[in-house]
Amino acid sequence: MDEHVAFLNEQVDRHHAWFSKSLPMIASENVISPMAREMLVSDFGDRYAEGLPHERYYQGNAFVDEVEDRVVALAKQISLSHGAHISSAKFGAAGLRGVNNVNYPFDVDRMNIDVDETVKLIRLVKPKVAAFGQSVFLFPTPLRELHDAFQDAGCHVWYDGAHVMGLIAGGTFQDPLHEGADVLTGSTHKTLPGPQHGILLSDSTDEKFLKRLQRAVFPGVVSNHHLHAMAALGVTLAEFLAFGRDYAAQIVRNAKALAQALHERGIKVLAEKHGFTESHALALDVAAFGGGAKVATDLEKAHIITNKNLLPWDTSPVRPSGIRLGTQELTRLGMKEAQMREVADLFARILVKGEAVEAIATEVAAMRTEFNTVHYCFTKDAEAHRRWRLA
């Protein structure tokens, strides 16, 4: 075998082995199902499908078109520094394209936008688009409370549900398209446990508006989308129709249980007075333990995978006081409230008691031996599960 290929194989194998012995708690990640993963290695990954279904610029897309039609139908069927993302900043994707961003007033205590002040701001600024979305998405956005302000401003409402798309589809968070949003966008690989992909939905009856959205995607920013990921997304959406409500509900129960357990063990979880979270995510203030960068590194050494995260009062993105957690992947692996309390114990032993991370890593690996199979998905047979185990 070529030395470069051997090296690449070795690193991927080491990654798999490491994650099979770790607690993956990045709020923006998940693991896809065995049947969805099969789509990613299909011939779809080698092909182009430039254009819209049944109106392609290339031949050879007869079956691709059928798949895309079905995936769109499934997507329609399931849709029901204050946590913002870098892409919306002046130096991010929006700012670089000339968009003039105005930030919403934020209620730090509630970890959500300040409704009264936001109403005043919308009526003053009269934006063309009111966009809502967070990378620390703890609570539903108060769209209904802002409805009159949207109407006064005559603006479109864009809800980015990247983090909470699976919770929306599972009926456990909020339903933006029925609460005043014109457009719902999001990722398909977070609480919706599919391939890394994007999704855009609207229930508008304005055909001109819908056509503008379509053209903004193609040819606006996309020539050829990733066909293998589209097929994998279709499998994920079908699985979510069957298992999504149970999965989403367990994600939130786990997040609440983890938050309460961490709080009881002396670790500061934000928004305590408001129940910590209504989503998959938690925001922890770990300044007392050395800050987010140090804590995330220490946890990684113990095979607990998290990320440092800015909290509302932070000024340095490289030295934030917080970390962010998500329960969606642990839930996907079959963990429930009892395991969340065990996880909180591990956090406390590292952060509060200062125990050796090497010993904790051994316990994490032992814990994962019982939780290495993907749940809430279709299984062809026992052999399929065996072949696609994470170990």
Contact assessment for residue 196 and residue 31, using Cβ atoms and an 8 Å cutoff: no
Task: Give me the residue label for tokens 């936008």.
Answer: 113
- Give the mean pLDDT of 339-346: 98
* Res. 365: pLDDT tops 70: yes
Question: Which residue(s) pair with 282 in the sheet?
Answer: 325
Give the pLDDT confidence of 223-272 residue by residue, as tens digits.
888 999 999 999 999 999 999 999 999 999 999 999 999 999 999 999 99
Confidence of residue 66 (pLDDT cuts 50, 70, 90): very high
pTM above 0.75? Answer: yes
Ranked by mean pLDDT, the top range of 104-113, 313-322, 348-357, 380-389 is 348-357
Residues 284-336 pLDDT 10s: 999 999 999 999 999 999 999 999 999 999 988 889 999 999 999 999 999 99
Please report where in the chains the tokens 């956090």 appear, as a residue.
347
Strand ranges inside 280-381, DSSP E? 281-285, 304-305, 307-309, 322-326
Output the pLDDT for position 291: 97
Q: What CA–CA distance (Å, rounded) separates 261 from 301?
A: 22
Q: What domains are defined for the chain?
A: 38-239 (3.40.640.10), 244-387 (3.90.1150.10)
Q: What percent of the chain has pLDDT over 90?
A: 81
Reply yes or no on whether the pLDDT at 91 is more than 50.
Answer: no
Instruction: Give the tens place of pLDDT for each residue, 102-137.
Output: 889 999 999 999 999 999 999 999 999 999 988 899
Give the type of residue at 106. F
The closest alpha carbon to 276, from 209, 230, 344, belongs to: 344
Listing from the earlier edge strand, what are the strands of the sheet with 307-309? 268-269, 281-285, 322-326, 307-309
Instruction: Report, as an integer, the average pLDDT of 357-368.
Output: 97
Q: Using 50, 70 and 90 to split pLDDT, how confident is the model at 173?
A: very high
Tokens of 233: 């997304």
pLDDT for 56 equals: 92
**If pLDDT is split at 50, 70 and 90, which confidence band does 382 have?**
very low
Distance from C-alpha of 71 to C-alpha of 233, rounded to nearest angstrom: 7
**Average pLDDT rounded to a whole number, residues 159-184:** 95
Stretch 330-356: mean pLDDT, rounded? 98
CA distances to 28, 31, 201, 245, 298 from 330, in Å: 13, 10, 28, 16, 19
The whole-number pLDDT of residue 190 equals 96
CA-nearest of 264, 248, 267, 244 to 352 is: 267
